[in-house]
Structure 1
Amino acid sequence: MTHAPDAFTPGPEPFTPTADPAALHDLRARLRATRWPDAPAHAGWSLGTDLDYLRELVTYWAEEFDWPAQEAKLARLPRFRVRAGGLGIHFVHARATASAGAALPLVLCHGWPDSFWRYAKVIPLLTDPGAHGGDPADAFDVIVPDMPGYGYSDRPTGEVLDSRDVAGLWAELMTTLGYERFGTAGGDIGSHVSRYLALDHPERVMAVHRMDGGLPVFRGDPAELTPEERAWFEEAAAWGASEGAYGAMHRTKPQTAAFGLTDSPVALAAWIVEKLRAWSDCDGDIERVYTKDEILTNVTVYWLTGTIGSSMRMYHANAAIDPAQLARRVEVPSGFSLFRGDIVRPPRAWLERTTNLAYLSEPEHGGHFAPFEQPERYAEELRAFFRPFRAH
Structure 2
Amino acid sequence: MSSHPLTVEPFRVAVADQELDRLARRLADTRWPDRETGSDQGPRLEQIRALCEHWATDYDWRRCEREINDLGSFRTVLDGVGVHFLHVRSSEPTALPLLLCHGWPGSILEFRHLIGALTDPVAHGGRAEDAFHVVVPSMPGFGFSDKPTATGWGVPRIADAWIELMVRLGYDAWGAQGGDWGSAVVEALSRKVPERLLGMHVNLPMVFPTAQEISEASPDEKRMLAKAQNYQTLLNGYFKEQSTRPQTIGYSLADSPSGLAAWIYTLFQDVTDSDGHPESVIDRDEILDDIMMYWLPNAGTSSARLYWETQREPSTPSGPNPVPAGFSVFPGEALQASRRWIERRYTNVLHYRQLDRGGHFAALEQPSVLTEEIRTTFRPLR
Structure-2-length-normalised TM-score = 0.94
* Aligned match of 1:348: 339
In structure 1, the residue corresponding to 2:323 is in which secondary structure? Answer: strand
Shift of 1:239: 2.1
Listed one character per residue, the Cα deviations across residues 123-151 of structure 1 (whole Å, up to 9, x for unaligned) are 00000001111011100000000011111
Aligned AA (1:143)? V
CA contact (8 A) 2:85 2:136 kept: yes
* Alpha-carbon distance in 1 for matches of 2:213, 2:238: 32
* Alpha-carbon distance in 2 for matches of 1:290, 1:10: 37
What is the number of residues matched between the two proteins? Answer: 379
Aligned AA (1:227)? A
CA contact (8 A) 1:118 1:369 kept: yes
Gaps of 5+ in 1: none
* Aligned match of 1:165: 157
Match of 2:48 among 44, 47, 54: 54
* Aligned match of 2:322: 331
Gaps of 5+ in 2: none
Cα separation, partners in 2 of 1:342 and 1:162, compared to 1, 3 Å: same
For 1:1-392, list aligned pairs within 5 A: 4=1, 7-8=3-4, 10-40=6-36, 43-44=38-39, 46-97=40-91, 100-214=92-206, 216=208, 218=210, 222=212, 226-228=216-218, 232-233=224-225, 235-323=227-315, 325=316, 327-356=318-347, 357-390=349-382
Shift of 1:292: 2.0
Shift of 1:342: 1.5
Cα separation, partners in 2 of 1:264 and 1:354, compared to 1, 3 Å: same
* Alpha-carbon distance in 1 for matches of 2:272, 2:67: 23
Listed one character per residue, the Cα deviations across residues 216-247 of structure 1 (whole Å, up to 9, x for unaligned) are 264xx737963246775565344211111110
Identity %, equivalent residues: 37
CA contact (8 A) 1:13 1:80 kept: yes
CA contact (8 A) 1:160 1:314 kept: no
Shift of 1:289: 1.3
Aligned AA (1:161)? W
In structure 2, the residue corresponding to 1:331 is in which secondary structure? Answer: coil
Aligned AA (1:92)? L
Listed one character per residue, the Cα deviations across residues 294-345 of structure 1 (whole Å, up to 9, x for unaligned) are 111111111001111111100111112223x164432111110111222121
* Alpha-carbon distance in 1 for matches of 2:207, 2:350: 20
Listed one character per residue, the Cα deviations across residues 166-213 of structure 1 (whole Å, up to 9, x for unaligned) are 111111111101111110110000000000101110010011111112
CA contact (8 A) 2:98 2:132 kept: yes
In structure 1, the residue corresponding to 2:133 is in which secondary structure? Answer: strand
In structure 1, the residue corresponding to 2:113 is in which secondary structure? Answer: coil
* Alpha-carbon distance in 2 for matches of 1:9, 1:251: 32
Backbone CA RMSD of aligned residues: 1.8
* Alpha-carbon distance in 2 for matches of 1:124, 1:176: 23
Shift of 1:76: 1.4
Shift of 1:353: 1.5
CA contact (8 A) 2:331 2:357 kept: yes
